[in-house]
Amino acid sequence: MRVGWAVPTSNMRIQTAVGTAHPTIASTENMFTGIIETTGKVASATTVAGGKRISIDAGLVAEDAKLGASIAINGVCLTITSIENVRLTFDVITETLDRTNLGSLKTGSRVNLERALKPDSRMDGHFVQGHVDGGARVVKKTTSDKEWVLWLRPDESVRDFIIPKGSIAIDGISLTIAKVEGDTFSVAIIPTTLAHTNLGERAVGDRVNLESDIIARTVVTQLNRLRRSGSEITVDSLREHGFI
């Protein structure tokens, strides 16, 4: 995990998207790992037509930033629309604000940041797309000298994808699901994660972003389609649909 702050130089670097609402975006799907590189602070969050314009002091994540590049902010993949030194600006549409906790960001809010993977990047967490499935409420927080455990109640639309010992991205952080009990699940947090992300600031009642593991989501979705089609789930049908 890389954590630090880029030092501004005397040659201020300013880039702005001009003449287009959408800067050039790579044609390939962006992927992340859920290993947070650093946290940033919201410098401003301004309401604009169709959503909000959010500027973030992004530290090292801004070092090689380019217009149109993708950054995961609390697990949400967003496109850089303006660069001023280490301050990056993003336009966030209303749907994203409604579906994630980005709508509650204000000046001074601390956010988790990760740049998109490069072809030669190490894969240290799990595959994260930056497409938030839904959210969860923190229902319990247990802290002691030995452990730090968070219990969450996910949206109903996400619950089928919550699997014990499976992967989950919480506010963009790659974590392992420890236990599933009823409509809640828990994750255990190590000190390094607490120190280098905003998860330690979460209190009971707070809402976090969830992205389920892409493999679990794909398997569950395809099995549900088989059930709805009335097909009997057998070894042959699983083989026919590519599961084995």
Report DSSP letters for the chain, one per residue: -----PPP-SS--EEE--S-SS----SSPP-B-S---EEEEEEEEEEETTEEEEEEE-GGGGTT--TT-EEEETTEEEEEEEEETTEEEEEEEHHHHHHSGGGG--TT-EEEEEEPPPTT----S--B-S---EEEEEEEEEE-SS-EEEEEEE-GGGGGG--TT-EEEETTEEEEEEEEETTEEEEE--HHHHHHSSGGG--TT-EEEEEE-HHHHHHHHHHHHHHHTT----HHHHHHTT--
Task: Give domain limits for the chain.
Answer: 14-115, 134-212
**Separation between Cα atoms, residue 103 and residue 144, nearest integer Å:** 32
pLDDT tens for each residue of 145-201: 778 999 999 999 999 999 999 999 999 999 999 999 999 999 999 999 999 999 999
User: Rounded to 5 degrees, what angle do the CA atoms 116, 66, 135 make?
Assistant: 40
Residue 21 has pLDDT above 50, yes or no: no
pLDDT tens for each residue of 51-103: 999 999 999 999 999 999 999 999 999 999 999 999 999 999 999 999 999 99
Q: Are 14-115 and 134-212 the same fold in CATH?
A: yes
pLDDT average, residue stretch 122-131: 79
* Higher pLDDT among residues 222 and 109, named by residue: 109
**140 strand-pairing partners:** 151
pLDDT for residue 44:
97
**Separation between Cα atoms, residue 58 and residue 228, nearest integer Å:** 46
pTM for the full model? 0.80
pLDDT for residue 6:
30
- When computed from its CA atoms, the radius of gyration of the chain, rounded to whole angstroms, is 19
- Tell me which amino acid residue 237 is: S
pLDDT average, residue stretch 15-30: 41
Nearest to 77 by CA among 45, 37, 43, 29: 29
pLDDT for residue 18:
38
Question: Do 160 and 154 touch, CB atoms closer than 8 A?
Answer: no
Q: CATH code for 134-212?
A: 2.40.30.20
Is it true that domain 14-115 has CATH number 3.40.1190.20? Answer: no
